[in-house]
Amino acid sequence: MLEFKNQIVHGAIFDMDGTMFDTERLRFQTLQQASRELIGVEFSENYLMQCLGLSARSAEQLAKERYGQDVPYAEIRQRADVLELEHVRNYGVPIKKGLFQVLERLRKAGLKMAVATSSRRAIAEEYLINANVYKFFDVLVCGDEIKQGKPHPEIFISAAEKINLSPAQCLMFEDSENGLRSAYDAGGMTVLFKDIKTPNESMLAQAQYYYETMEDFLIDLNQFVPVLEMPELETAFPQTLNQLTVGIHGFGAIGGGYLAQVLSHWDGYTRPRKIIASTRNPLYQSAVNAFGTYCIRYGQNSFDQRIENMSVIDAHDLEQMQNMYIESSLVAVCVPEEALVSEAEVIAQGLYARYLAYEQQEQPLTLLIILNKIGAKQLVMQQILSRLQQITDEQTAQHIMDQHYFCDTVVNRMVSKLSDQKLYRQLRIKYNMFKQYQLDEDLSVVDLDDSTALNAEQEHQAGLYIEDLRRNFQPSHILQSMDLILFNAETDMPIYVENNSPLLAKMRQMILVDDIANIQLIKNRLWNGVHAMMAWYASLRGHQTIGVAMSDHAIRKFMQQALAQVKHGLCYQIPKHASELERLAQSFTESCAYAYQDPCARVGREPLRKLEHNERVMGSLSTLLKYSLPFDVVLKGAVLGYIYALEQGECEQQELLMHLQIQLRHMALEPQLYETLYDEMSQFINQIIAGKLSLQKFMQLDLQQAFS
């Protein structure tokens, strides 16, 4: 049962041609070709327009009136059916946009559903099966099964009876004048869609609801169906594919190991028919395209989730990148900050190509900005606009920017990508399985260092593995039972997204927020800041991954203390977000405990950038100082970051101290506090580097007392 605009609905009865499928134009073409072949005269556009919604008998009578009693209408129609079926079998049924989403919502609302079409059953069944929508309907009533065709109400009355409902309990969907009159006289709740023929006043009077397109009805329908709850980790993706294509600009850890899942869950009713992802890694590209799928591994739950309908393109190929932006309804931009300048040029080229492809008609694209930075959207938009202005004039560039929906995001999942060496080893194992020999071969014959790139021989061999697998991939083949694991991920499900696009209204895995800046601040300080400080400490103590480091009591204690101090500062800074703080802090702790595949080197990279005054660590230190709150643990974390930067060779010691001085100056501290902080922090750094102060003793110091 569905309550739609204050009406209780129990059933839905759909016309087929022109309503669900964009076949009326195709039928015009095939009837004209068939009539030309058989009688040497092409049926006129006017005659065909009058036939819209008529049964075969009624259309034949009209043909005899127009073209003479001897017109072989049955033969013409039969020939047209052959031509039409041939076209459909070759190219598929042209489906109205939004149909799959509408059918899924009506079905999930518990409605009984039927088709009432003037087409013959053989044609109707083939179309419904070809379009993969037959499964939605309980009953099919066809033009060759009734005595009186449309505009007589018999077909709709019969369909309602067959689903055990009265016509008044059913929404009846039509596109033609004759069909609408049939539904109206049957007593149904009439829904009219515009197709070839613009509706006249009589039609509009008989239509209880009128929509230009199926997508317009979907927008209305969405107000009366529930937003499905956040999925569990092992919740299956929707079975039904809609007609949308979506893109992931950057098939890295977050793009492939998180956004692909978000886009596959979509709204819980349907999911995109195709996900296009870009990468500069040829091994990942060829492997995914050969297997057709890949998996995200959730070690915490011993669960591998398969991502399907994925096509990976070469990020170096501008034409492919432009096509992704042209075809997609949504693109998740998952690029690191250091690559933003070069990638902004590609995005600008893509948006300009879209502008030209749609002949300057507005086709809004939703862009999710996945960048681990406060104010990421503004930074990205500035870069894209700058590149657009180099391609076209300023007015056009601004117009292109204005027509699209840019949405900031906050990601709370930790994901790590397999190294090329691990992928190579996995491909070799799967290749041996594929060949079905030496399944218990000792894989220790070749000692591979996971941290290194492939050598030339390994690259060549991996290419051979993939090509052989791709060539031999067939339905029911052994490859279909193989899972290609590309990412290791933690289990946090929600992604926070700025509520700035109508496309996102029903997204199942998204939490839409109007003011995302505070959520970004929480993520930056609570997750990113503590994560970085923890990784620096863990690396300096010799740990390789976050999960293993959590077994070290000293690391675990430091993480908990740093988390508590950062959370304390945020409670003062943004008190209305206390509930999010608690949830995200708990989620962070749980994620770290199982992050056995998350390298400390990845988390701790670029320490000097992360130690800038407005960034994740110094930002928290500044807040704690502002509110006179305990700050000693965060200060230790900052010192650890500088030590780590020096050990990694990111800078010389003098440059490092200059960096510290500049950041403290930007924090607008009282002169005395600034001097004290700089003197103490630089002294600790110098002593640790010189070996005069051990890391262990430094971490045991009571710095709060020293600054009191």
**Residue 485 belongs to a domain:** no
User: 431 with 527, same domain?
Assistant: no
The chain-wide mean pLDDT, for the chain, equals 90
The CATH number linked to 84 is 3.40.50.1000
> Which alpha helices (DSSP H) does 109-256 contain, by range?
121-130, 154-162, 177-186, 201-206, 214-221, 253-254
Any idea what DSSP says for residue 545? B
The region of weakest confidence among 171-175, 242-246, 521-525 is 521-525
d(CA 524, CA 535): 15
Q: Would you say residue 348 has pLDDT above 90?
A: yes
Q: What is the pLDDT of residue 449?
A: 38
Q: Cα 179 vs. chain centroid, distance in angstroms? A: 38
Q: Would you say residue 450 has pLDDT above 60?
A: no
pLDDT tier, 453 (very low <50, low <70, confident <90, very high otherwise): low
Q: What is the pLDDT of residue 84?
A: 86
Q: What is the pLDDT of residue 688?
A: 95
Q: What is the pLDDT of residue 708?
A: 64
User: 40 with 146, same domain?
Assistant: yes
Average of pLDDT values for 678-707? 90
Residue 49 to residues 18, 45, 176, 180, 193, Cα–Cα distance (Å): 12, 6, 9, 15, 16
List, for residues 618-636, the tens digit of each pLDDT value: 999 999 999 999 999 999 9
Specify the pTM: 0.81
The region of weakest confidence among 133-137, 430-434, 486-490, 509-513 is 430-434
User: Domain count of the chain?
Assistant: 4
**Residue 235 belongs to a domain:** no
pLDDT tier, 412 (very low <50, low <70, confident <90, very high otherwise): confident
Residue 448 to residues 419, 421, 457, 465, 489, Cα–Cα distance (Å): 11, 7, 13, 17, 23
Whose tokens are 């293993």? That residue is 548
Average of pLDDT values for 403-414? 93
d(CA 275, CA 331): 9
Helix pair angle (340-357, 394-402), 10° resolution: 90
Q: What is the pLDDT of residue 53?
A: 64
d(CA 322, CA 350): 4
Q: What is the pLDDT of residue 37?
A: 93
Any idea what DSSP says for residue 230? P
Q: Cα 95 vs. chain centroid, distance in angstroms? A: 22
Q: What is the pLDDT of residue 704?
A: 74
User: 164 with 121, same domain?
Assistant: yes
Preceding omega of 282 cis (within 30 degrees of 0): no
Q: What is the pLDDT of residue 676?
A: 92
User: Which percentage of the chain shows pLDDT scores above 70?
Assistant: 93
Q: Would you say residue 466 has pLDDT above 80?
A: no
pLDDT tier, 448 (very low <50, low <70, confident <90, very high otherwise): very low
Classify residue 471 by burial, with Cβ atoms within 10 Å: 0-12, 13-18, 19+. exposed
Residue 63 is part of which domain span?
1-226
d(CA 46, CA 40): 18
d(CA 492, CA 475): 34
pLDDT tier, 431 (very low <50, low <70, confident <90, very high otherwise): low
d(CA 238, CA 264): 8
Residue bearing the bigger pLDDT, 425 or 162:
162
d(CA 425, CA 434): 14
Residue 125 to residues 135, 160, 243, 569, Cα–Cα distance (Å): 11, 19, 21, 64
Residues ≥6 apart with Cβ < 8 Å to 218: 98, 101, 102, 105
List, for residues 232-287, the tens digit of each pLDDT value: 999 999 999 999 999 999 999 999 999 999 999 999 999 999 999 999 998 889 88
User: 178 with 256, same domain?
Assistant: no
Q: What is the pLDDT of residue 479?
A: 47
Q: Would you say residue 477 has pLDDT above 80?
A: no
**Residue 151 belongs to a domain:** yes
List, for residues 301-341, the tens digit of each pLDDT value: 999 999 999 999 999 999 999 999 999 999 999 998 889 99
Backbone angles phi and psi of 415, in degrees to 5: -135, 140
User: 409 with 426, same domain?
Assistant: no
Backbone angles phi and psi of 511, in degrees to 5: -105, 110
User: 440 with 525, same domain?
Assistant: no
Q: What is the pLDDT of residue 434?
A: 52
**Residue 309 belongs to a domain:** no
Give the domain-ending residue among 163, 194, 226.
226
User: 214 with 348, same domain?
Assistant: no
Q: Would you say residue 653 has pLDDT above 50?
A: yes
**Residue 563 belongs to a domain:** yes
User: 466 with 557, same domain?
Assistant: no
**Residue 44 belongs to a domain:** yes
Average of pLDDT values for 103-113? 97
Residue bearing the bigger pLDDT, 89 or 205:
205
Residue 534 to residues 537, 542, 667, Cα–Cα distance (Å): 5, 12, 23
Of 19, 24, 18, 25, residue with least CA distance to 173: 19
User: 445 with 537, same domain?
Assistant: no
Helix (H) or strand (E) run with residue 311 in it: strand 310-314
User: 427 with 339, same domain?
Assistant: no
Of 95, 146, 155, 482, residue with least CA distance to 287: 482
**Residue 510 belongs to a domain:** no
Q: In what order do the strands lie in the sheet with 294-298?
A: 303-307, 294-298, 485-489, 415-417
**Residue 163 belongs to a domain:** yes
User: 38 with 182, same domain?
Assistant: yes
Average of pLDDT values for 196-201? 86
d(CA 53, CA 178): 5
The CATH number linked to 250 is 3.40.50.720
User: 561 with 451, same domain?
Assistant: no
Contact of 619 with 566, CB cutoff 8 Å: no
Q: Would you say residue 480 has pLDDT above 60?
A: no
AA letter at 473? F
Please report the DSSP string for 561-601 in residue order. HHHHHHHHHHHHH-GGGHHHHHHHHHHHHHHHHT-TTSBHH
